Homo-oligomer: A and B are copies of this chain.
């Protein structure tokens, strides 16, 4: 079982196909911030009754002007609404994105916990992984999580 660990994973022959993959990643990254913001905004509204800029800045670990700037972009792009000096609301589009993001976040966390990743590390990794999963992969991941839960339910094969 000597693996091909040191072989190119990448098909250098068809550069068009390879380029398309990287283009998707760049697209993923451009919506990633939108997803994290609307998810946080939804959480804040549910928990505190409103989403304030200052709380977003604290949770995201960036400055208040940075959040202000991003919120204005997200407003242009139709994810949120907010009047000057007032708190932030989600549009229907924003709510839909938040809901989807939250589901994926749950699913990734559930999987990471199931394969034995410590809670802290799972939370950290999930925050990045959640934006790079296609629908098909999410399906497969859910099935794999169930299979692993069942397996570790019966026998045990830890460390």
Measured CB to CB, the residues of A under 8 A from B are: 3-6, 8-10, 12, 15-16, 18-25, 28-29, 36, 39-40, 42-44, 46-48, 55, 58-62, 99, 102-103, 105-106, 109, 112, 114-118, 121-125, 127-129, 131-134, 136-137, 140-141, 143-144, 147-148, 151, 157
Q: Which 10 A-B pairs have the closest CB atoms?
A: A19-B61, A128-B132, A8-B43, A15-B58, A115-B144, A115-B140, A25-B128, A9-B105, A21-B127, A15-B59
Q: How far is the CB of A153 from chain B (nearest CB, A)?
A: 13
Contact of A55 with B15 at beta-carbon distance under 8 Å, contacts A5-B106, A9-B106, A148-B148 already known: yes
